[in-house]
Structure 1
């Protein structure tokens, strides 16, 4: 009979586990408060969570800020936190998909620097790409490498590719309008 009582008590979470889960949600809320408005919009938070985060960002008094973070943690108990965690991981670059995307863009940039023949491939991938700007950045990057100068254009190529990769494909944009 005592064994049955023991198995029943382990089926539900202990008070300690519940408190740990609440503290994790509070810490997740505190992490959201540290983000910029643009980063918050990328995560696509529920309206009430977004409003609470923005309100907490405005509060400067330590005690009030702490209470608002606790309130934010309480609000987060009612929503699914997995999309929020995934969005934060994506922003931090911890997502394996995001890491793979960045590596792919770096390989494209290096192929472009090594061989100008990669330009048509990039144009086929992103029809809206400004070829003249990309050629100019490539020439400048090669000059920077020869002169042992800081890789300003090298970085600019990556940023340009990243902007293009972040935009939806023209076909996808047309289907959204319909």
Structure 2
């Protein structure tokens, strides 16, 4: 008679029971997340390092126009969404929607940097030291114009342009955990 090793058997506390309804809700949420990826451009999709089949399904979904085929394609995308980590995808969708805390923190950092550049002449030297590839002449011109706009109480055109320039030098940090889940992809 075989012996059962009690250390390997899960106890009642370790077993997590999930109802069939909850599994359906989770699956529907993943499918909805996958549907939200369809309108994104190829460059953003590639940045997520999605499994090849999911990536191709998203690209194919852009081409499909028949209603029944669109619904089937969305279900297919939902199937492949179960094989990836949804956290980086959700973070990308949140940053696109403007609700990501990390994205907001990055924008606030750029705003503080811009304000410092306009208010403190020594801040430009520190910025140039940190980003030697920066176009110094363009930076000085935008700072000068922003100060003029402020004095003359004109719309802040140069102030906004300075912000856009800072975005070029300090790109948004990459999403953590955006990786390919090859083990699960090979099983499917």
Q: Could you say which TM-score interval applies, normalised by the shorter chain? A: 0.7 to 0.9
Is residue 121 from structure 1 mapped to residue 121 from structure 2 by the alignment?
Answer: no
Q: Provide TM-score, normalisation by structure 2.
A: 0.75
The CA distance in 2 between the partners of 1:84 and 1:126, in whole Å, is 30
The Cα of 1:102 is off from its aligned counterpart by 1.3
Aligned pairs, number: 161
Q: How well do the aligned residues superpose, as a CA RMSD in angstroms?
A: 2.4
The CA distance in 1 between the partners of 2:166 and 2:116, in whole Å, is 12
Q: 2:52 aligns with which of 47, 55, 63?
A: 47
SS of corresponding position for 2:122:
helix
Kindly provide the CA deviation profile for residues 66-89 of structure 1, in whole angstroms up to 9, marking residues without a partner as x: 221111001111222222223323
Structure with the higher helix share, 1 or 2: 1
Q: Which runs of 4+ in 1 moved over 4 A?
A: none
Q: Which moved more, 1:146-155 or 1:95-104?
A: 146-155
The CA distance in 1 between the partners of 2:159 and 2:103, in whole Å, is 20
Partner of 2:6: none
Is residue 151 from structure 1 mapped to residue 132 from structure 2 by the alignment?
Answer: no
Partner of 1:102: 107
The Cα of 1:131 is off from its aligned counterpart by 0.8
Q: Provide TM-score, normalisation by structure 1.
A: 0.79
The CA distance in 2 between the partners of 1:155 and 1:37, in whole Å, is 28
Q: Which consecutive residues of structure 1, in runs of 5 or more, have no partner in the other structure?
A: 1-6, 169-178
1:25–1:73: 8 Å Cα contact kept in structure 2?
Answer: yes
Highest RCO, 1 vs 2 (Cα 8 Å, sep ≥ 6): 2
